[in-house]
Structure 1
Amino acid sequence: MKTKDMVFVALFAALMGVLALIPAINLGFTPVPIVLQTIGIMFAGAILGSRLGALSQIVFLSLVAVGVPLLANGKGGAAVFVGPTGGYLIGYIVGAFVIGFILERTENVTFVKMFIANLIGGVLILYVFGIPVLAFVTNISIMEAIKVNYAFIPGDLIKVTIATILSLRLRKALAVYIKPHKSASKVA
C-alpha cells in the first residue's frame, strides 16, 4: 500500500471520530441513536473506493474495539459490537465497500448514480446488518426491528443527499490524489 493511501485511510477513519463529536439524537423507543457517522461511511466509499473505503472503516472500528471512545456519545470498547448497534457497526465496513464497488464500476458518476450507491451502501446495507442484531439483542421480532427503523428513513435520506452532494465535489477536488480503482469511472 502506498503512503498516500495509508494517509487517506487514516484521514477517513479520523473523520468518523470527528463525526462522533456531533451529539447523537437518542430516541426513546430504540437503543439505536441517530448519528452522523453514516455520512462518513458514504464519504469513505464514494471517495476512497471499495478497498480503501472499507479499510478506513476497519481501522476506525479497530480503534473502537480497543476502547477508544470514537462512537456517538463517547462509546467505545468491544462490548459495543455485541450490543444493539453491533450489526450497524459491522455494516460500516460492508457499506463503504459496496458504495465504492458500485461507483468503481459506474461510468460518468452523476448525482443520481452517486445517490443510489450511497442509498444502497449507506442505508440498505446498514439495515441488512443492523436490524437482525437489533432484533436479537433486544429480543424483538425482525418485523418490530424493521418498524423501529422506519423512524430513521427521513434522516437517512437527508444524509444520503448531503453525502452525495459533498462526495461529488470532493471527488473532483481530490481527483489528482485519489484515482478510482478497478474501472476507469469518470466524475461528472
Structure 2
Amino acid sequence: MTTKDIVLIALFAALTAAMGLFPAFNIPMIGVPITVQTFGFMLAGALIGAKRGALAMLLFVLLLAVGFPLLSGGRGGLGIFLGPSGGYILAWPLVAGLIGLLYSKLKQPTPWQEFLIMVAGGIVLEYAIGIPWVAVAAHLPLAKAALGSAAFIPGDIVKIVLAILIIRPVRRAFPGW
C-alpha cells in the first residue's frame, strides 16, 4: 500500500466523519436516521476505487466501534451496531467496494450508468443488509421494516443525483485516483 493509498483512505474516512456534523432526520417507525453520511460511501467507492473505498469505510466503522462519536448527533460506540442503524453502517465498506468495482468496469460511464451503479450499491445492497437488521433490532416483521425503510428511497435518489454531480467533475480532474 502506498502513501497515496493511505492518505486517500484516511481522507475519505475523515470526509464521512465530517458529514456527521449535519443534523439527522429520524424516521419514527424504524428508528434509523436520514443523514448526509451516506455520501461518504458513494464518493469513496466512485472516486478512490473498490479497495481503497472499502478500506476508508472500514476505517470509519472501526473508529465508530472504538467509541469515536462520528455519526450524526455525536453518536458512536459498539451500541450503534446493535441498534436499527447497525446493518446499514456495517454495509458501508461493502457498498463502497461494490460501487468502486462497478465504476472500474466502465472507463467513462454515462450519467445513467453512474445512476444505476449508485442504485445497485447505495440502495439495493445497502437495503439488502440494512432492512433485515432493522427487522431484528427493532423487533419488526421484515415487511414492516422494508416499508419503513422505503421512506429513505426519495432522499437516497436525491443524494445519488447530487453525488453524481460531484463525482463527474472530480473524476475528470483527478483521473489517477
TM-score class, shorter-chain normalisation, is over 0.9
C-alpha deviations, 1:2-41, integer Å up to 9, x for none? 0011001000000111100000011222210101111111
Q: Partner letter of residue 26 of structure 2? A: N
Q: Write the deviation string for residues 70-98 of structure 1: whole angstroms up to 9, x where unpaired.
A: 01111100111111111001111110000
Aligned match of 2:48: 48
Partner of 1:185: none
Aligned to 1:105: 105
Answering whether residue 115 of structure 2 is matched by residue 115 of structure 1, we say yes
Q: TM (normalized to structure 1)?
A: 0.91
User: By how many angstroms is 1:55 displaced?
Assistant: 0.2
Instruction: Please name the residue that 2:62 is paired with.
Output: 62
User: Which residue is equivalent to 2:143?
Assistant: 143
Q: Does structure 1 residue 169 correspond to structure 2 residue 164?
A: no
Query: Which aligned pairs between 1:15-34 and structure 2 lie closer than 5 A?
Result: 15-34=15-34
Q: Secondary structure at the match of 1:33?
A: strand
Deviation at 1:108? Answer: 2.2
Paired with 1:83 and 1:164, the residues of 2 have a C-alpha distance of 30
RMSD: 0.9
| Structure 1 segments (4+ residues) deviating >3 Å | none
Query: Does the Cα contact within 8 Å between 1:39 and 1:122 map onto a contact in 2?
Result: no
1:126: how far off?
A: 1.1
CA distance in 1, matches of 2:71, 2:131: 19
Percentage of identical aligned residues: 39
Measured in 2, the distance between the counterparts of 1:107 and 1:3 equals 25
The residue that corresponds to 1:81 in the other structure is: 81
Give ranges in structure 1 of 5+ residues lacking alignment: 179-188
Mapped contact 1:45–1:96 kept (Cα < 8 A): yes
Question: Which residue does the alignment assign to 1:182?
Answer: none
